[in-house]
A and B are shown apart, each in its own frame.
Chain A
C-alpha cells in the first residue's frame, strides 16, 4: 500500500507541477524564451489573489476572475514592452532580462508585502479528503489542482490545434520568416502567447498559495520544479509537460518512500537521466523546431 500511496500522491503532485509549468512550456514553445521570472510571477499572482481575497472577502478561487485578466494584461505589456526588445538582442538577452525581472519583482514584493509568510485560505477544502482504503487517502485539494493542471494543458493544446490564432502561433514557432510572409504579425502573436501564459501562471499561483505558505522568495523552488517538468517532458511540448510533471512528481514521492532523503534527489536524477538519454524529452514537441 505504501507504493500505491506514493504513486497516487506523486501523480497528483505531478498534475500541480504541470499546472505550474504550462505557461513556461508555452512561452518556450512559441518564442523560445526561457522565462526565469516564471516562479516569481506565480508568487506575485498569489499576492494579488491575497489582496483581492482580503479586500473583497472573496474565496481565493473566485479571485481568479480578477487575477487571471490582470496577469494576462501584465503578460501582454511585458512582451510588448520588454521581451520583444530583448528578443532582438539575441538568444541570451531574454534570459538575462527575465532573470533581472525576477530579482526586481521579488524585491518589489518584499517591499510591498514584507517577508511575512502568507497563505490563501481555501477553508475546509484544504484538509478534506476521500479515504479510499487504509493507508490511501486522496485529498480534495491535490485532486482539484491535478485536474485543473490537466484542463489547462488540454485547453492550451486545443487552442494551439484548433483556433486560427493558435495555428498562427505554431506557424510562427516553426518558421518565423515564412509566417511573416503569410501576413502573420508575430509580435502581436507573441504578446498574446505571453498573456495566455501569464493567465495560466495566475491559476498556478493561486493553487500554490493555497497549498502551502509563501513569501516573496518562494518563486525559486517553484521555478526549478516547473523547469524540470518542461525539460523531462520535452521542451515546448504541452502534453510532454503534463507527462514530465507526472514523472517528476512520482519520482519524488517514490524516492521519498524509499528514503525521505531521496525524494527531491530522485526527481533531479530523473531529470538528469532524461537530459542525458533523451535530450529532447519524453514527448518531443510538435511545435519544437
Chain B
C-alpha cells in the first residue's frame, strides 16, 4: 500500500523536472495554424503565463497589480496598429509553478483563446516551455525574468540556429559574476569563496561557470558539491567552508534551504565577511522570514525604484511605479514589478512597430526592436545572441531599517556594471 502513496511527493518534483519535454510531445502537433493568431477583428488578445501559486508564487506576486494596471491603461488607450485602433484583452494563465502546466496553458492560450501574442515570466521552468510551445505553433512570444543562457542554450539555440518566434530580455550569468565580484572586492577578505550550489538548472549553470570567471581575479571557489533542494542539514557544507576558512559565501539556493543553512551556520559558528546570495533573498518577504540575521546579506538587483528609467506607456518613473504598487497592495515593492510592466511595454512597441497584427510581422518587428522601458533600454539587435536583449544588473545589500516603513530595505551598493543606476552606499561587512 505504501508504494502507492510514494509517487505523490517525489514524482511532483520529477514531473517538474521532466516537464518541458512532456509538454512539447503532448501539445506540439496536429493543431491547425489557422487557429493561431486569430483574435476578434478589433480586439487583440495578449496571453500572459506566470506562476501565481506554488513554489514560485513570490515571483508572480506583482502580476495582478500590473495586469490590472495594464487592463485599465488599455481601456483608455487602445493600441494603434497600422492605422486601426485595437482593444486589448489580457488573458492570464497560472502555471501553478509546474513547467509541464506552463506548456499546457500556453497551448490553451494559442488554441482556445486565440492569443495574438504571448508573454511569460519567471524562471526557466516557466519561460522555456512557454517559448517552446510558441515556437512550435508560430506565435510571437516575449519572455523575461530568467537568465538568458538557459532560455537560449537551454532550448537548443546556437549562434547559427536561433529562434523565429521567441524573444527574451534579462541579464546573464556573466553579469551576476561581475556584480558579485565587485561586491566581494569592496570588503577585505582572504578571497576564499564557499559555494552553496544546488543540483538544479541554476546550480548546475553557476557551478560550471563561476570558478573560471572568478579565478583570474584571485578568488578560489570552494565547492563541496551540488546538493539536492530540500536538504535538511548543511553541516557538511559548513564544515567544508570552515575548513577552507571561506570568508565569502556565494550561492543560489531556494529560500527554505537558505534559511535552514543560515540558521545552522550560526549554530556552528560560520560567519563569512560577505554573503552574496541569489534567488533565496530576492523578495522582501523571504528576507523578513529569515529574521534579524538577514541584515547585511547581499544579492543581485535587476530592478529597483532607484533605477533611472520611465515607462514608455504610462510615463511613470520606476519610483512612481513602485509607490503605486505599495499604495495599491500595501506590500513592499519587489523586483518583478518593473519587468512584468516592461513585458507589456515590449508587446505594445512590437505591435506598433509591426504595423500589423500578423504573427510574422510581429515576430519580424521583435527581431530588430529597440525600445526604452522601465527596466532600461532594450535592444534586440545588439544582444549576446539573437533573440536576446540584455538588461542592466547591479548589486544590493539588505539592511535592517530600524523604525522604517519596512523591516528591511534593499540598498544598491554596486553599480560597476551599470553606472547609470545610482548606488546608495557601499558593501558593509557582515558583523
Q: Compute how far the CA of A115 lies from the CA of B50 in the bound complex, rounded to whole angstroms.
A: 14
Q: Identify which of residues 323-355 in chain B touch chain A, using a CB-to-CB cut-off of 8 Å.
A: none
Judge if B233 is at the interface, Cβ distance under 8 Å. yes
Q: In the complex, what's the smallest C-beta–C-beta distance from A216 to chain B, in angstroms? A: 8
Judge if A273 is at the interface, Cβ distance under 8 Å. no
Q: Mark the stretch among A61-69, A72-80, A188-196, A252-260 that contacts chain B.
A: A252-260
Collect the chain B residues with CB atoms within 8 Å of residue A161's CB.
none
Judge if A71 is at the interface, Cβ distance under 8 Å. no
Q: Identify which of residues 209-248 in chain B touch chain A, using a CB-to-CB cut-off of 8 Å.
A: 224-228, 230-237, 239, 242
Judge if B291 is at the interface, Cβ distance under 8 Å. yes
Q: Identify which of residues 267-282 in chain B touch chain A, using a CB-to-CB cut-off of 8 Å.
A: 267-269
Q: Mark the stretch among B52-60, B84-92, B162-170 that contacts chain A.
A: B52-60
CB contact between B227 and one of A36, A138, A224, A263 (< 8 Å): that residue: A263
Q: Mark the stretch among B2-10, B175-183, B304-312 that contacts chain A.
A: B2-10
Q: Across the interface, do A115 and B54 meet the contact criterion of CB distance under 8 Å?
A: yes
Q: Compute how far the CA of A141 lies from the CA of B231 in the bound complex, rounded to whole angstroms.
A: 17
Judge if B255 is at the interface, Cβ distance under 8 Å. yes
Q: Across the interface, do A213 and B227 meet the contact criterion of CB distance under 8 Å?
A: no
Q: Across the interface, do A213 and B255 meet the contact criterion of CB distance under 8 Å?
A: yes
Q: Identify which of residues 116-165 in chain A touch chain B, using a CB-to-CB cut-off of 8 Å.
A: 116-119, 121, 126-129, 131, 135, 137-142
Q: Compute how far the CA of A92 lies from the CA of B2 in the bound complex, rounded to whole angstroms.
A: 11
B275-295 vs A, CB cutoff 8 Å, 1 = contact: the mask equals 000000001011001110100
Collect the chain A residues with CB atoms within 8 Å of residue B57's CB.
110, 114-115, 215
Among A117, A211, A252, the one with the most B-chain Cβ atoms within 10 Å of its Cβ is: A117
Q: Compute how far the CA of A224 lies from the CA of B229 in the bound complex, rounded to whole angstroms.
A: 13
Q: Across the interface, do B289 and A118 meet the contact criterion of CB distance under 8 Å?
A: yes
A16-48 vs B, CB cutoff 8 Å, 1 = contact: the mask equals 100000000000000000101000000000000
B1-19 vs A, CB cutoff 8 Å, 1 = contact: the mask equals 1101110111010000000
Judge if B260 is at the interface, Cβ distance under 8 Å. yes
Q: Identify which of residues 241-282 in chain A touch chain B, using a CB-to-CB cut-off of 8 Å.
A: 249, 252-253, 256-257, 259-261, 263-265
Q: Across the interface, do B267 and A137 meet the contact criterion of CB distance under 8 Å?
A: yes
Among B2, B224, B267, the one with the most A-chain Cβ atoms within 10 Å of its Cβ is: B267
Judge if B70 is at the interface, Cβ distance under 8 Å. no
Contact of A115 with B53 at beta-carbon distance under 8 Å, contacts A253-B233, A253-B236 already known: yes
CB contact between A119 and one of B231, B268, B291 (< 8 Å): that residue: B291
Collect the chain A residues with CB atoms within 8 Å of residue B257's CB.
212
Q: Across the interface, do B259 and A6 meet the contact criterion of CB distance under 8 Å?
A: no
Q: Across the interface, do A221 and B230 meet the contact criterion of CB distance under 8 Å?
A: yes
Judge if A171 is at the interface, Cβ distance under 8 Å. no
Collect the chain B residues with CB atoms within 8 Å of residue A92's CB.
4
Q: Across the interface, do B61 and A227 meet the contact criterion of CB distance under 8 Å?
A: no
Q: Identify which of residues 1-56 in chain B touch chain A, using a CB-to-CB cut-off of 8 Å.
A: 1-2, 4-6, 8-10, 12, 53-55
Q: Compute how far the CA of A263 lies from the CA of B236 in the bound complex, rounded to whole angstroms.
A: 9
A187-221 vs B, CB cutoff 8 Å, 1 = contact: the mask equals 00000000000000000000000011111011011
CB contact between A110 and one of B53, B224, B231, B234 (< 8 Å): that residue: B53
Judge if B368 is at the interface, Cβ distance under 8 Å. no
Q: Across the interface, do A121 and B267 meet the contact criterion of CB distance under 8 Å?
A: no
Judge if A175 is at the interface, Cβ distance under 8 Å. no
CB contact between A231 and one of B2, B227, B242 (< 8 Å): that residue: B2
Collect the chain A residues with CB atoms within 8 Å of residue B232's CB.
13, 16, 225, 249, 252
Judge if B382 is at the interface, Cβ distance under 8 Å. no
Q: Compute how far the CA of A127 lies from the CA of B231 in the bound complex, rounded to whole angstroms.
A: 18
Q: Compute how far the CA of A92 lies from the CA of B5 in the bound complex, rounded to whole angstroms.
A: 10
Q: Across the interface, do B256 and A256 meet the contact criterion of CB distance under 8 Å?
A: no
Judge if B266 is at the interface, Cβ distance under 8 Å. yes
CB contact between B233 and one of A9, A34, A126, A135 (< 8 Å): that residue: A9
Q: Across the interface, do B264 and A264 meet the contact criterion of CB distance under 8 Å?
A: no
Q: Compute how far the CA of A217 lies from the CA of B56 in the bound complex, rounded to whole angstroms.
A: 10
Collect the chain A residues with CB atoms within 8 Å of residue B12's CB.
220
Collect the chain A residues with CB atoms within 8 Å of residue B256's CB.
117, 212-215, 218
Q: Across the interface, do A99 and B228 meet the contact criterion of CB distance under 8 Å?
A: no
Q: Compute how far the CA of A221 lies from the CA of B236 in the bound complex, rounded to whole angstroms.
A: 20
Q: Compute how far the CA of A215 lies from the CA of B226 in the bound complex, rounded to whole angstroms.
A: 24
Judge if B199 is at the interface, Cβ distance under 8 Å. yes
Q: Compute how far the CA of A135 lies from the CA of B97 in the bound complex, rounded to whole angstroms.
A: 39
Judge if B372 is at the interface, Cβ distance under 8 Å. no
Collect the chain A residues with CB atoms within 8 Å of residue B286's CB.
116-117, 213
Judge if B263 is at the interface, Cβ distance under 8 Å. yes
Q: Across the interface, do A224 and B53 meet the contact criterion of CB distance under 8 Å?
A: no
Q: Across the interface, do A224 and B239 meet the contact criterion of CB distance under 8 Å?
A: no
Q: In the complex, what's the smallest C-beta–C-beta distance from A146 to chain B, in angstroms? A: 12
Contact of A263 with B233 at beta-carbon distance under 8 Å, contacts A119-B290, A218-B256 already known: yes
Q: Across the interface, do B269 and A121 meet the contact criterion of CB distance under 8 Å?
A: no
Collect the chain B residues with CB atoms within 8 Å of residue A249's CB.
232-233
Judge if A177 is at the interface, Cβ distance under 8 Å. no
Q: Across the interface, do B267 and A99 meet the contact criterion of CB distance under 8 Å?
A: no
Q: Across the interface, do A141 and B267 meet the contact criterion of CB distance under 8 Å?
A: yes
Q: Compute how far the CA of A252 lies from the CA of B233 in the bound complex, rounded to whole angstroms.
A: 8
Q: In the complex, what's the smallest C-beta–C-beta distance from A93 to chain B, in angstroms? A: 12
Q: Across the interface, do A115 and B233 meet the contact criterion of CB distance under 8 Å?
A: no
18 pairs, A vs B, C-beta closer than 8 Å: A13-B232, A13-B233, A95-B1, A110-B53, A116-B61, A117-B289, A127-B293, A131-B269, A220-B12, A221-B230, A224-B9, A227-B2, A231-B2, A257-B235, A260-B225, A260-B231, A261-B226, A264-B227
The 8 A-B residue pairs whose C-beta atoms are closest, nearest first, are A115-B57, A139-B267, A116-B285, A127-B266, A260-B227, A256-B236, A264-B228, A117-B289
B interface residues, Cβ below 8 angstroms from A = 1-2, 4-6, 8-10, 12, 53-55, 57-58, 60-61, 97, 199, 224-228, 230-237, 239, 242, 255-257, 259-260, 263-264, 266-269, 283, 285-286, 289-291, 293
